[in-house]
A and B are shown apart, each in its own frame.
Chain A
Amino acid sequence: MQNKKVVAIVLGIMCFALTAGICVQVRTVNNTNSTVSNDYEENNLRAEVLRYKERYDNKVKELSNAEAELEKERESATQNDSDLQQKEQEITEGNKIIGLTEVTGPGVIVTLGDSKKDASSSLDPSMLLVHDTDVLSVINELKNAGAEAISINDQRIIPTTGIICGGNIIDINGEKVGAPFEIKAIGLPEQLAALERPGGYLALLKDYSIEVKLEKSNNITIPKYTGTINYQYAKSID
Chain B
Amino acid sequence: MKKKMKKGKITMIITAGIVCFILVLVMTMQFKIVNEADVTSIENMRKSDLSTELANWKTRYDEVNQQYEDTVNKIEEYKNNKESNEETSNLMDSELEQISMSLGKTDVEGQGIIITINETNNEEVEDITADDLLVIVNALKLAGAEAISINDQRIINMSDIVYIDAASVIRVNGERILAPYKIKAIGDSNYLESSLIGNGGAVDEMKKKGQDVTIEKENRVTIYKYNGEITTKYME
Please list the residues of chain A having a beta carbon within 8 angstroms of any beta carbon in chain B: 7, 11, 14-15, 18-19, 21-22, 25-26, 28-29, 31-35, 39, 41-42, 45-46, 48-50, 52-53, 55-56, 59-60, 62-63, 66-67, 69-70, 73-74, 76-78, 81, 83-84, 87-88, 90-91, 93-99, 103-107, 132-133, 136-137, 140-141, 143-144, 147-149, 157-164, 167-169, 174, 176-178, 186-188, 222, 226-238
Contacts and interface: CB of A to CB of B under 8 A. Distances in A.
Interface stretch (B42-50, B115-123, B175-183, B206-214): B42-50
Contacts of A237: 106-109, 222
A194 B89 CA distance: 44
Contact of A33 (B33, B66, B142): B33
B85 A98 contact: no
Contact of B75 (A60, A70, A187): A70
Interface in B128-163: 131, 134-135, 138-147, 155-162
A52 B92 contact: no
Cβ-closest 7 pairs across A and B: A162-B142, A162-B141, A25-B30, A94-B99, A52-B57, A144-B160, A233-B110
B138 A162 contact: yes
6 contacts: A18-B20, A77-B88, A143-B158, A159-B156, A186-B235, A233-B186
B42 A149 contact: no
Main SS of chain A's interface residues?
Answer: helix
A77 B38 contact: no
Contacts of B37: 29, 32-33
B11 interface: no
Contacts of A60: 64
Interface residues of B, number: 99
Contact of B108 (A77, A230, A234): A234
Nearest to A31: B46
Given A73-B79, A149-B235, A29 B23 contact: no
B4 interface: no
A236 B88 contact: no
A137 B99 CA distance: 27
B2 interface: no
B109 A234 contact: yes
B194 interface: no
Given A7-B12, A66-B71, A22 B27 contact: yes
A63 B23 contact: no
Contacts of B156: 159
Contact of B78 (A39, A70, A167, A226): A70
Contacts of B38: 178
Q: Which of B44, B47, B53, B92 has the most CB of A within 10 A?
A: B92
B188 interface: yes
Interface in B24-39: 24, 26-27, 30-31, 33-34, 37-39
A158 B156 CA distance: 9
A96 B19 CA distance: 64
Contacts of B186: 233-234
A122 B64 CA distance: 45
A63 B141 contact: no
Given A32-B44, A140-B162, A97 B134 contact: no
B166 to A, nearest CB: 12
A66 B212 CA distance: 50
B141 to A, nearest CB: 4
A97 B103 contact: yes
A227 B88 contact: no
B40 interface: yes
A21 B27 contact: yes
A31 B198 CA distance: 30
